[in-house]
Amino acid sequence: MIRDHFRVLVVDLNTGRGSVALVDGRDSVAGGSGLAAHLFMKYGKPDRPWNDPEQPLIFAIGPLTGYFPLMSKTVCAFKSPYHDQYAESHGGGRSALSLRFADLDALVITGRATRPSCISVGSRHLEVKEVHYLWGKDLYTTGKMLRSMFKGAGHRSILRIGPAGENGSAFACINVDSYRHFGRLGGGTVMGSKNLKGIVINGDGSFPLNGSKEYPKLFQDVYTKLTDTDMMSKYHDIGTPINMAVLNEVKMLPIRNLQRTTDPGISEITGEKFAELALLRNAACAGCPVGCIHIGFVREKFHSDYQYLYRQVSYDHEPIFAVGSMLSVENCFAVLSIIDVAEKVGLDIMSAGVALAWATEATEKGLISEKETIISLSFGDSEAYKQALQHLGQATNEFYRLLGQGTLKAAERYGGKDYACVLGQEMAGYATGEVYFASQALGLRHSHLDSGGYSYDQKETGKDPAKAVDFLVKDEQGRVLLTSMVACLFARGVYSDALLADCLKSVGYGTLADTLGQVSKNIQHLRWKTRIATGYRPEDVTIPKRFLEITTGKGPMDGAYLSSLKEQYAKAIRGLAAPGAAEAAPAKKSGTS
């Protein structure tokens, strides 16, 4: 639905009621990331803690969702239990299309239900249903029950949490339609703190395609560009796990709690190996012809007489790195079985895997023992890691409860801060060098996708901190425009600013199309302003010693370069958040991505 404002459903769990708010700002914040920050500033309480019942949990989509392919992400925003500051996490599945067909640009949930509950929303309904019988259930059982309780199969999206979200873990994710996640920074625990076990979004409405004459042709052009390029083969065939072998080859893969950056044992957990042995099928987010979701299987014997059951488990580069290479688990089926456990308890696999890697090294160094970990942890022992993940998700004892608040929190208590692989949050699967380490450590989402620091490390040979920081700032400016359109970032090579402007014009967003340069600057400023308002101090970010101890294909890390990068990036962030920053900053050149 084309409109010059946002249509937002605000649900108050204190009362079980909701109302539709018409919110201005389409031509300044566009949608997605921009809209989420805009709504947090409207409904959020920057100076109150993350679990204050009045804090909002926000889901926002973009102006092109439902009109063009790969506009298939939803931006989830909240105050994070991980650092008690503003956070964004992005997920796909059917969530974005379901919101579009429910005639909503955003869903905002405030308050706390008195009993465990589930929300169902659609184009003409809102129901808050008491579901005490789902509390404590794992993600698989919860999904099965929600699917049978609510109608709308094929049009609905189901968001749900597992026990980790109920137990206050800062690693708890929100699962979306089984194979996608709002993974990072603890959105699952924000749901849990609201007594909210599930959200069913029913895309049960429809809307006219009242675009211009150019729209059908442009749609076809975009579709062809997305499916005719090497993007299809890159993401569809082997998918993101193709990075495992590539990074291992150039000595940039985090291995064994980042004690190494390359290892021959990785050959058993490459993308090629998964595709050859464990791949069952591909799946796609709604509205995406690429289908990068790779689904493998876990087989379990349930009876001695060769009786087996199997479960389907999605995999990507990041989960394979987190519970494969980081834990030295070198068998693809063992990796899938660990991912399966993390799914059941509802943990963000990246944070959980990196945390267990630290716990294993801390065990080796004698800082902790079975007294804390309950089971003996050693690199490569997948059975022990499956049990440890259960304990982490269930917060079985004080050690696991603390570890679930973040690896550095546990390291502060037990020691071993030097080798806690934390860059703002637990690291992502790239050990490319100083620019990437600075970019994840200081970036707004502490995500490898905040900006292309990992590719800068691989392409650039010089060490000019000012040039690198300039790249990070400009690259982020381009990415926030894409995430405000809610484009999947895998399409960033196709959706240039010029193409985005054409797409917007073709469906009737002419003003937005004409001012995209300024809009991306506004959004970048607004997001940083929001993060800073909730207490972020970029100059206080530290990078553990382990990141300086490694050698990549480019050579040993340079501590002085990393320090300068951090210092200059922190200053740049302060500048981006300052009043008037959006007007002062130079706009990224149109047409680049």
Asked whether position 286 contacts ligand SF4 by CB under 6 A, the answer is no
And the tokens for 369? 């023992």
Residue 399 CB-density burial (10 A; 0-12 exposed, 13-18 middle, 19+ buried): buried
Alpha helix positions (H), 135-186: 139-149, 163-166
Segment contacting ligand SF4 (CB under 6 A): 288-296, 369-377, 405-413, 449-457?
288-296
Q: Which of 160, 89, 150, 163 is nearest to 122 (CA)?
A: 150
Separation of alpha carbons 351 and 441, rounded Å: 14
Nearer to ligand SF4, 27 or 316 (CB): 316
The piece of 169-177, 212-220, 286-294, 425-433 that touches ligand SF4 (CB under 6 A) is: 286-294
Is residue 526 within 8 A of residue 86, CB to CB? The reply is no
Q: What angle do CA 529, 533, 536 make, to 5 degrees?
A: 95
Q: Is 444 left (phi over 0), alpha (psi -120 to 50) or beta?
A: alpha
> Is-contact 382 371, C-beta < 8 A?
no
By beta-carbon proximity to ligand SF4, the closer residue of 266 and 286 is 286
Subset of 161-200 contacting ligand SF4 (CB under 6 A): none
CB of 286 to ligand SF4, least distance (A): 9
Q: Exactly one of 72, 117, 447, 522 binds ligand SF4 (CB under 6 A); which one?
A: 72
Tell me which residue of 175, 191, 180, 290 sits closest to 238, measured CA to CA: 290
Please choose, out of 287-295, 297-305, 317-325, 560-568, the segment that lies near ligand SF4 by the rule CB under 6 A.
Answer: 287-295
CA distances from 178 to 140, 160, 183, 184, 578 (A): 8, 9, 12, 16, 40
* Residue from the set 41, 284, 295, 578 that interacts with ligand SF4 by CB under 6 A: 284
Q: Which of 172, 199, 200, 285 binds ligand SF4 (CB under 6 A)?
A: 285
Helices (H), 250-321: 271-277, 317-320
Which CB, 494 or 578, lies closer to ligand SF4?
494
Q: In the stretch 432-471, what mask flags binding to ligand SF4 with x, by CB under 6 A?
A: ----------------------------------------
| Nearer residue to ligand SF4 within complex by CB, 190 or 488 | 488
User: Shortest approach of ligand SF4 to residue 487 CB, angstroms?
Assistant: 9
Least distance from C-beta 94 to ligand SF4, angstroms? 10
Which member of 288, 435, 441, 519 binds ligand SF4 (CB under 6 A)? 288
Q: State the sign of the Cα–Cα–Cα–Cα dihedral 447, 291, 295, 311.
A: positive
Q: Which is nearer to ligand SF4, 95 or 522 (CB)?
A: 95
Number of residues that bind ligand SF4 (CB under 6 A): 13
Which of the ranges 19-27, 280-288, 324-332, 437-445 carries the binding residues for ligand SF4, by CB under 6 A? Answer: 280-288
User: ∠ CA(528), CA(436), CA(522), 5° rounding?
Assistant: 20
Instruction: Give the range of 45-53, 108-116, 285-293, 554-562 binding ligand SF4 by CB under 6 A.
Output: 285-293
In the list 70, 356, 362, 585, the residue contacting ligand SF4 (rule: CB under 6 A) is 70
Using DSSP bridges, classify how beta strands 6-12 and 422-423 pair: parallel, antiparallel or unpaired. Answer: unpaired
Residue 295: its H or E element: strand 293-303
HEC profile of 49-99? CCCCCCCCEEEECCCCCCCCCCCCCEEEEEECCCCCCEEEEEECCCHHHHH
- Restricting to residues 484-503, name those near ligand SF4 by CB under 6 A: 488, 490
Of residues 253, 290, 377, 557, which one binds ligand SF4 by CB under 6 A?
Answer: 290
Smallest distance from ligand SF4 to CB 501, Å: 21
Under rule CB under 6 A, residue 92 binds ligand SF4: yes
In the complex, minimum distance from the CB of residue 285 to ligand SF4, in angstroms, rounded to a whole number: 3
Q: Contacting ligand SF4 (CB under 6 A), which of 30, 293, 444, 523? A: 293
Q: How far is the CB of 70 from ligand SF4 (least distance, A)?
A: 5
CA distance 270 to 522: 41
Least gap, CB of 185 to ligand SF4 (angstroms): 19
**Are 252 and 261 in contact, with CB atoms under 8 Å apart?**
yes
Spatial distance between the Cα atoms of 577 and 531, rounded to a whole number of angstroms = 9
Q: Is residue 570 involved in binding ligand SF4 (CB under 6 A)?
A: no
- Residues in a beta bridge with 10: 19, 108
**Binding flag, residue 315, ligand SF4 (CB under 6 A):** no
Task: Determine, following the binding rule CB under 6 A, whether residue 292 of this chain makes contact with ligand SF4.
Answer: yes
Residues that bind ligand SF4 (CB under 6 A): 70, 72, 92, 235, 284-285, 288, 290-293, 488, 490
